[in-house]
Amino acid sequence: MNSIIEQLNNRFSEALVAVFGSDLAEVDPLIFPASNPKFGDYQSNIALSIAKQLGQQPRAIAQQLVDNLKLADLCENPTIAGPGFINLTLKPAYLETQLNSLQKDFRLGVEKAKHFQRVIVDFSSPNIAKEMHVGHLRSTIIGDCIARILEFRGHEVLRLNHVGDWGTQFGMLIAYLREVFPDALTTADVLDIGDLVTFYKQAKIRFDEDENFREIARQEVVKLQAGAEDSRHAWQLLCDQSRREFQVIYDLLDIKLTERGESFYNPLLPEVIEDLDKQGLLKEDAGAKCVFLEGFTNKEGQPLPLIVQKSDGGYNYATTDLAAIKYRVQQDGAERIIYVTDAGQSHHFSQVFQVAKRAGFLPDNVEVVHVPFGLVLGEDGRKLKTRSGDTIKLKDLLDEAVDRARKDLEQRLEQENRRESKEFIDRVARVVGISAVKYADLSQNRTSNYIFSYDKMLSLQGNTAPYMLYAYARVKSIGREGNIDFESIAEDSKAILEHETELALAKAILQLSEVIKHVERDLMPNRLCEYLYEEVSKKFNRFYENCPVLKAEEPLRTSRLILCDLTARTLKLGLSLLGIPVLERM
Ligand code: ARG
pLDDT tens digit sequence for 319-333 = 999 999 999 999 999
Most confident of 98-107, 360-369, 390-399: 360-369
Is the distance from the beta carbon of residue 441 to the nearest atom of ligand 1 less than 6 Å?
A: no
Task: Give the atom of ligand 1 at the shortest distance from the alpha carbon of 122.
Answer: 8
CB 513 within 8 A of CB 537: no
Ligand 1: which of 140, 162, 349, 373 to mutate, judged by most atoms within 8 Å of the beta carbon? 162
d(CA 580, CA 574): 9
Is the distance from the beta carbon of residue 452 to the nearest atom of ligand 1 less than 6 Å?
A: no
Mean predicted confidence (pLDDT) in 217-237: 91
Rounded to the nearest angstrom, the distance between the alpha carbon of 122 and the centre of ligand 1 is 8
Tell whether the model's pLDDT for residue 185 goes beyond 90.
no
CB 128 within 8 A of CB 240: no
d(CA 509, CA 7): 16
- pLDDT for 19-50, tens place per residue? 999 998 899 999 998 988 888 999 999 999 99
pLDDT of residue 312: 87
ipTM field:
0.99
Task: Give the atom of ligand 1 at the shortest distance from the alpha carbon of 339.
Answer: 8
Rounded to the nearest angstrom, the distance between the alpha carbon of 529 and the centre of ligand 1 is 26
- pLDDT for 56-114, tens place per residue? 999 999 999 999 999 999 999 999 999 999 999 999 999 999 999 999 899 999 999 99
- pLDDT for 133-165, tens place per residue? 999 999 999 999 999 999 999 999 999 999 999
Rounded to the nearest angstrom, the distance between the alpha carbon of 162 and the centre of ligand 1 is 6
Which strands, in side-by-side order, build the sheet including 156-161? 258-259, 156-161, 118-122, 336-342, 367-373
Task: Give the atom of ligand 1 at the shortest distance from the alpha carbon of 317.
Answer: 11
Is the distance from the beta carbon of residue 87 to the nearest atom of ligand 1 less than 6 Å?
A: no
Rounded to the nearest angstrom, the distance between the alpha carbon of 256 and the centre of ligand 1 is 17
d(CA 480, CA 490): 16
Ligand 1: which of 142, 159, 325, 345 to mutate, judged by most atoms within 8 Å of the beta carbon? 345
C-alpha distances in Å from residue 363, one per residue of 294, 445, 507: 18, 31, 41
Domains of the chain: 4-90 (3.30.1360.70), 118-164+263-377 (3.40.50.620), 169-253 (no CATH), 394-577 (1.10.730.10)
Mean predicted confidence (pLDDT) in 441-445: 97
d(CA 508, CA 567): 9
CB 54 within 8 A of CB 69: no
pLDDT of residue 1: 66
Tell whether the model's pLDDT for residue 191 goes beyond 80.
no
Mean predicted confidence (pLDDT) in 219-224: 91
State pTM to two decimals: 0.94
* Atom 11 of ligand 1, nearest CA residue: 321
Is the distance from the beta carbon of residue 162 to the nearest atom of ligand 1 less than 6 Å?
A: yes
d(CA 147, CA 161): 13
d(CA 221, CA 243): 21
Question: Three-state SS across 54-102?
Answer: HCCCHHHHHHHHHHHCCCCCCECCCEEECCCEEEECECHHHHHHHHHHH
* Atom 6 of ligand 1, nearest CA residue: 125
Ligand 1: which of 239, 246, 260, 341 to mutate, judged by most atoms within 8 Å of the beta carbon? 341
- pLDDT for 344-358, tens place per residue? 999 999 999 999 999
| pLDDT > 90: percent of the chain | 85
